[in-house]
Structure 1
């Protein structure tokens, strides 16, 4: 009997300890799961934008070359009194604005952009002939781009806030060309010619754009602009009305520029 009560007491003690342990475990606080990190911000380039730009253009091919002349110019050309070319290179600054729209598809971007710039791109070439076989002369030539614009497509690859793109399309601009060949004395010949027109051509280039703040981007761009060519003929209607010389000018420049754009319709930075 004593042995039975001993076993009973031992069993009761073990059950009591087990129940106390279970209650203590139930009272322990359950640790919360760690919060998932917020999704990383993703740049969304889709939408309308507008901005301003400015830069520098330099000559690609603008020398005015003699393409035709009447027989009376033969002696002056042979002696150097009338030049066979004008080194009227393009060089100068420009500034304006642009507007466009981008569509982003995963990491790819396609878009369209139009821009227009006021410009002062040109240089005057002066050729002095001291005399000899013909009278002394001073010849000048200037080919000047007063303004230009483009309507281009853009295709690029995005990498977060960075965009690398190629671009190309239509170009147009206002071109002004003046040439002269003035002999001394003036009665020996004072020839002048000019042309002012709006030219149509093409443009192509590449650039990189960076989103530096919500809705704002900055870009750098290279653009080759070809506005074609034009012929300019100079005359002296007073002294030599039957004589003339014609020169061909190429209106081509390479332009580098920087710009700032503002994107409409929400922040550039979006979240998944």
Structure 2
């Protein structure tokens, strides 16, 4: 009887010790930790937004009046400032690199967008018939850029700045009548400049992110040739312009490092 009791006690002690060891193992087992998001990789995406331009056009009055009356007919200088605005729709692509064990991200990006920025202003023609005006129409039809960017990552949220080269596709028209004769001067220009901007990118999935961005485009002052094909006139016009764009986009990330 004593031997049987001793055997039961020994078995109970072994079972109790095994349970305690298993409990210790369960407590000490490390919980899995999700790896932080890594921005290293390439991406491609689309964006949509709004653009606001400022264009100072000098001097469409002289262009018209001197074409009809001869050089030097116009004494005063006139600047017309249409403010085109409209939508921008396009795409972007690029590659980023996040330094090991660091939140710093560097990259390069290319953007291309069609634009519907357009506006016009009327200006009087003092040497013409009373009430005659010229309508100055300005349009920006596309914007492209190649930029470098640098950012600071808070896991799957990236704050970044960007800067680089840009180009705008512009069209101009100066139309109306002068001393009763219709005229229609047109100008076409692809203008190079610079751009700088900033934004925030949120990776809501391993391969997808959404971003909000502001960009400023500076194109300085350039002289363009406006031509009236019907009257066989042409002349130089100075245009100073800048554009601001606010946009949202979605990117698909490929070969991500996470």
**Alignment RMSD:** 3.3
Q: Which residue does the alignment assign to 2:112? A: 116
Give TM-score scaled by structure 2 length.
Answer: 0.79
Distance 1:263 1:237 in 2: 49
How far apart, in 2, do the equivalents of 1:107 and 1:47 lie? 15
> Which residue number corresponds to residue 145 of structure 1?
140
- Alignment-derived partner of residue 64 in structure 1: 57
1:211-267: CA deviation from partner (whole Å, max 9, x where unpaired): 1122000000000012333324667899997xx87532123101001100001125x
Change in Cα spacing, 1:47 to 1:65, as seen in structure 2 (3 Å) is same
C-alpha distance 228-169 of structure 1, shift in aligned 2 (>3 A): same
* Structure having the higher Rg: 1
Name the residue aligned to 1:3. Answer: none
SS at match of 1:230: strand
Moved over 6 A (4+): 17-23, 235-241
Q: 2:204 aligns to what SS in structure 1?
A: strand
Pairing 1:254–2:244 present: yes
Compared with structure 1, are the counterparts of its residues 167 and 50 closer, same or farther at alpha carbon in structure 2 (3 Å cutoff)? same
In the TM superposition, residue 36 of structure 1 has moved relative to its aligned partner by: 1.1
TM-score, scaled to structure 1: 0.76
Q: How far apart are the structure 2 equivalents of 1:139 and 1:232?
A: 18
Q: Structure 2 unaligned runs (5+)?
A: none
Q: Which runs of 5+ in 1 are unaligned?
A: 1-12, 78-82
Q: Distance in 2 between matches of 1:178 and 1:208?
A: 38
Paired positions, count: 240
Change (3 A) 1:163 1:235: closer
Q: Which moved more, 1:244-253 or 1:83-92?
A: 244-253
Check 1:122–1:240 CA distance in 2 against 1; reply closer, same or farther (3 A cut): closer
